Amino acid sequence: MILGDLLDAPVYADGGQLGFVVDVRLVLDGPVKGLRAAPRVVGLLVSARTGATFLGYERTDTNAPALVWRYLAWRHRGTFLVLWEDVVGVTGGAQRGTGDARVDLRPGFRRWSPALAPTGTGSRP
């Protein structure tokens, strides 16, 4: 799988489309290769309104420059993180040569805040 194929891919769950993948979250905690640990996919950021990126503004309390932050916060309202373990299938994309990927989530998946904290709490997955 090529991670770039996931960007802007439609995300489906419970028989309907939830939005589009706008970012892929990685963590460096895999086996050490050279000077670094190998990356591992943590989850996908899903936006109901757009396939455009957040430019990293969703990750912290960063709010400067204020106009950019406000615009991106408005444009991406309702965006959520889905953990990789909640993804049951990725079809299309480079694996089938179509270029169009589709992401399917398991029933009962959990929505997390884009900053990796569950909605309404400060804890991390």
- The conformation of residue 4, written as its DSSP 8-state character, comes to G
The tens digit of pLDDT for each residue in 98-114 reads: 557 899 999 999 999 87
What average pLDDT does this structure show over 41-65?
A: 68
- Give the chain's largest Cα–Cα span: 44
How far is 99 from 34, CA to CA, in rounded Å? 32
Domain boundaries, the chain: 3-105
How far is 66 from 73, CA to CA, in rounded Å? 10
Instruction: Return the pLDDT at 16.
Output: 93
Q: Band the pLDDT of 26: cuts 50, 70, 90.
A: confident
How far is 107 from 23, CA to CA, in rounded Å? 22
Across-strand partners of 11? Answer: 19, 103
Tokens 């970012």 locate to 23
Tokens 């769950």 locate to 13
CB 30 within 8 A of CB 37: yes
